[in-house]
Structure 1
């Protein structure tokens, strides 16, 4: 009897509290204006709740090494165009009007050290409700999110001149791909690719058939004629020199079906080991691996390739290995995604590195 009475009292209290909340909302007197801000207790409670949620939900995330300065090549131009308006940058403060939001976006140079890399990854990837901080447009592209985290960790010490050099002064393509379209370790070279491949790639990004939080933001703003002009422009450029960098075998290639967070470049490779890696990669490119069901790469990416297939010669090793990881996980879209997933699933970690290292050091045939 006492138990049922307690349940009845609890239900009545809950109903009364709900009705009171509804009456307060219906009164129209709730302070929802951004100019009103939050009271100190409410601000503390909301920040405490957000911080604890991020800490707990990011606790199992394993951060990769983020010390490679090449990671900033793609991160800085995107940050400068998409994030700096609210959060400021080494070049300038954020827009003054953003100070009138509730809560105002933090100046990241002053606050980023308070967060662990895994927590920054969680925030950039998922965003924060009721703050205006959006989630990453392509949640499956964890590698891109880690690039942004690499930049955020460097932001407090990044000098203005270095930041401006990385941000670039050209259009959205030149900022990441370079004025000559040669690309970098983590960014593909565009010059010398076929017009058909470049056009198909831009169309896939614009239409959401190929995931990238960076490229979708660029391509979706271009109409079809603009995408065609860009494809024509870079297809006409001369092929850049080989990247000649190298990537280490991905440590967890066989342990997970998810895309690896970020490929790691060689820090100080032995010349002999690198030569052997490139030689093994060249054998796969020319002959494939019949015992693993892997065809020769040259059939699609060689000198007589179909114009819809990209040229791989001279592209960054880290970029090439990352694309294989994305194909393997079923994340990488594009016209030939199903075929490439079939290939990537049959390569082991060393073979991925070998093929990437071979192509990165190779001149066009």
Structure 2
């Protein structure tokens, strides 16, 4: 009977890393994707991935409801950055993608095997060694949850529905955007050519100040204003087109979103006109009303209430950024309570 002394085990463990490095150095392992994984390797990697996602997702706080109103911009982002590997309704994956190792899954059939928290974890942080990237910015959980809502809807989505959500009437996904018409078509997939927006999660930019729109595009392109959706769109557009795009949307007739009916718009108006002096909250209209104190300050009248609430919360968390004046809004937003935000959003969404 062979007996192993602890010293022998210690020596074996000590030299094992050197053996592994030597085996790697001589090129013993075949890294070609054409051969696939050994079955045990494939099983182990899949087990490790699912187990890690399950464990880390325990810390994810799942909202009471998924933001289904964010499905449209999420679909647009999916068409831009995800469908090329995962396919989409009516858009099969290319043969080259099918030769990847590991192969990106067709998402619709596997959505039921993941919880909302697990999907959030995968979308936000990506998966190492698979080509699955992290969300372009780690500061916008609201966008990640919108993508989770889209993924939940994906299994029941037919090709026309998907195409309408992701592309609208523009005829195709436009990228890179090197000329004005192409860039405008790309913007219109979420904003519409008239700038009215195709979702409550998308701001109304028709009639907005040209200086503000250009500054926003520059901030997205330079990654100073976090948004996984807008960063990709702005980075892929030719910066020389920013002025033309801003001018186009600024020239569109302004419109108003449906007013929010669940909050106190009258109290919101009082805050907008007078502020909250005891908390050092200035009057919103001192900067955002009438003749602008600064053309880079946006107009808020008629904006979607849900969009306004999201932006105020991002300012309060220090995640909005953009122009050199963002710090002014951060200080103000941190002094607002949840009811204040609700009431202000209700007032500005109803203001004409």
Do these two structures clear the TM 0.5 threshold for a shared fold by scoring above it?
A: yes
* Residue segments in structure 2 that go unaligned for 5+ positions in a row: 171-184
Q: In 2, Cα distance between the equivalents of 1:295 and 1:31?
A: 65
**How far apart in 2 are the matches of 1:222 and 1:288?**
39
What is the alpha-carbon distance in structure 2 between the residues aligned to residue 324 and residue 83 of structure 1? 29
* 1:326 aligned residue: 314
- Output the CA distance in 1 between the equivalents of 2:228 and 2:19: 43
Task: Provide the rounded CA distance (Å) in 2 between the counterparts of 1:304 and 1:182.
Answer: 22
- State how far apart, in whole Å, the 1-side matches of 2:303 and 2:99 are: 45
Using the TM superposition, give the Cα deviation of residue 245 of structure 1 relative to its aligned residue in structure 2, in angstroms: 4.3
Q: 2:265 aligns with which of 278, 287, 296?
A: 278
Instruction: Give the Cα–Cα distance (whole angstroms) in 1 for the partners of residues 9 and 340 of structure 2.
Output: 64
Instruction: Provide, for residues 101-155 of structure 1, a one-character-per-residue CA deviation record: whole Å limited to 9, x for no partner.
Output: 1100000011111100010000000000000000111001111111100000111
Secondary structure of 2:58's partner?
Answer: coil
Any conservation in 2 of the 1:66–1:150 contact (CA below 8 Å)? no
Q: Does 1:220 align with 2:228?
A: no
> 1:52-109, CA deviations, whole angstroms, 9 ceiling, x for partnerless residues?
0000001121211445532212111111111011111113112221111110000001
Structure 1 position 226, deviation (Å): 1.2
Deviations 1:278-322 (A, max 9, x none): 111111111111111111110111011121100111111111000
1:123 matched residue in structure 2? 122
Which of 279, 289, 306 is the matching residue for 1:292? 279
* TM-score with structure 2 setting the length: 0.90
How far off its partner does 1:232 sit?
A: 1.1
| 1:362 pairs with 2:342 | no
What is the distance in 2 between the residues matched to 1:173 and 1:344? 29
The total of aligned residue pairs comes to 330
Deviations 1:240-286 (A, max 9, x none): 2x21243xxxxxxxxxxxxxxxxxxxxxx6xxx54xx1111111111
Question: How far apart, CA to CA, are the structure 2 residues paired with 1:67 and 1:138?
Answer: 20
Question: Aligned pair 1:339/2:328, yes or no?
Answer: yes
Q: TM-score, normalised by structure 1?
A: 0.87
4+ aligned runs moved over 3 Å, structure 1: 8-11, 65-69
- Structure-1 residue corresponding to 2:290: 303
Indicate whether 1:317 and 2:310 are aligned: no
Q: Which runs of 5+ in 1 are unaligned?
A: 247-268
* Partners of 1:243 and 1:314 within 8 A in 2: yes
- Cα distance 1:23–1:67, how it changes in 2: closer, same or farther (>3 A)? closer
342-351 or 217-226: which moved more? 217-226
CA–CA separation in structure 1 for the residues paired with 2:68 and 2:194: 20
Structure 2 residue 159 is the aligned partner of structure 1 residue 164: no
Separation in structure 2 between the aligned mates of residue 163 and residue 361 of structure 1, nearest angstrom: 31
CA contact (8 A) 1:87 1:105 kept: yes
Partners of 1:202 and 1:227 within 8 A in 2: yes
Distance in 2 of aligned mates of 1:22 and 1:351 = 61
Tell me the secondary structure at the aligned position of residue 220 of structure 1.
Answer: helix
1:199 is paired with a residue whose SS is: helix
